[in-house]
Amino acid sequence: TYLPYGVPGVRENLPFWGFYLSHPTSVIRVEYGFMTAHAKGVDYMIGSIDGRADFKVADFIEGYIKLGLDYHRYQGKPTTVRTYPLMQSGGSHLAFGGIIPLTEDLCLRNEFKLSRGVGFTLYVGMGFLYRF
């Protein structure tokens, strides 16, 4: 769920889907993300790049925190008196979450991401993570 605040033409929560790819470096993990929504009359796409630091919370839970840059491309829901143009914007975000292993390679991942750019937004997501 994507909770927008201050995004022109976007007034409701949006259901997003997407994917992340990451790889380790000598210091942190670099993560690339893509999310998109086409719902409630709104088209929205977000591309991101992050620096992610992983840490152990307990024996069976990993936590992470990440900081990154965003690219937003969206078109707000048209009204009877106004049609919104296709807009683009940059931004930044801070996110944190947890990873719970289900099998050796498959995990459940949740994330809370605060973004600043187009407006101020909160993304709350959950999905599967596959390690290979």
Q: Find how far residue 54's CA is from the centre of its chain.
A: 17
- Round to whole Å and give the CA distance between 22 and 54: 12
What is the model's pTM? 0.87
- Round to whole Å and give the CA distance between 45 and 36: 4
Residue-wise pLDDT tens digits, 64-107 = 999 999 999 999 888 889 888 899 999 999 999 999 999 999 99
- Round to whole Å and give the CA distance between 17 and 44: 11
* pLDDT number for residue 127: 96
On average, the pLDDT of the chain sits at 92
How would you classify the pairing of strands 2-5 and 120-130?
A: antiparallel
Which structural domains are found in the chain, ordered by start?
Answer: 2-130 (2.40.160.20)
